Amino acid sequence: MAIDRRVSKSKHALKQALIILMNKKTFKNITISEIVELADLNRGPFYKHYQDKEDLLNDLIQDVLSDLTESYRAPYKNQPTFYFDHLTASAIKIFDHVAKYSNFYTIVINDDALPGFLNKIGELLKELAIKDLMKDFTDLNIDPKLMASYQSYAILGLIIEWVKGGFIYTPSYMATQLLNILTIEKPHKIK
């Protein structure tokens, strides 16, 4: 079923207004009147789609998490077998996702506007790694769940560092850095 363009535009405007307002004040202090005014809508479209501002926030969060899932899976989505050594930086889309939602990530990471959300992202990445990438993991010396956790929270750490640094690098640069980190063959000597 196709979504009406007006519905999509209204929902997008409401979500963007919420992000802008969350950048200025706490979620608790944001009113529906402020959201609809900034979105240049009246209250009717808001209540047609959402029961309250929490419902709007949950829809925004669901958008972010769905897009994050697609971005994480992009390098291996249409491949019957994923060969890690064939991975290219251009196939890594997770940093494009973060850039797309840069205002949201900035609020969440710098202001801790949604306590526990970063952990939710880490757990989602871990679940995806376990479900998609660790199913055929055969190294008997490494627990697949611990490996998935290590990889997922390492990626989240790169995202946090990038956001806290003010997005001074491009998504392409970040993807290249992740690929370089993943393909380091030998530990470096510490002097």
pLDDT in tens, 109-158: 987 778 889 999 999 999 998 888 777 667 778 888 898 999 999 999 99
pLDDT, one tens digit per residue, over 10-45 is: 999 999 999 999 999 989 999 999 999 999 998 998
Q: pTM here?
A: 0.86
Mean pLDDT over the full length of the chain: 89
Token reading at 22: 């969350």
Does residue 3 or residue 92 have the better pLDDT?
Answer: 92
CB 89 within 8 A of CB 179: yes
Tell me the helices (H) and strands (E) count for the chain, helix number first: 9, 0
Q: Three-state SS across 146-184?
A: HHHHHHHHHHHHHHHHHHHCCCCCCHHHHHHHHHHHHCC
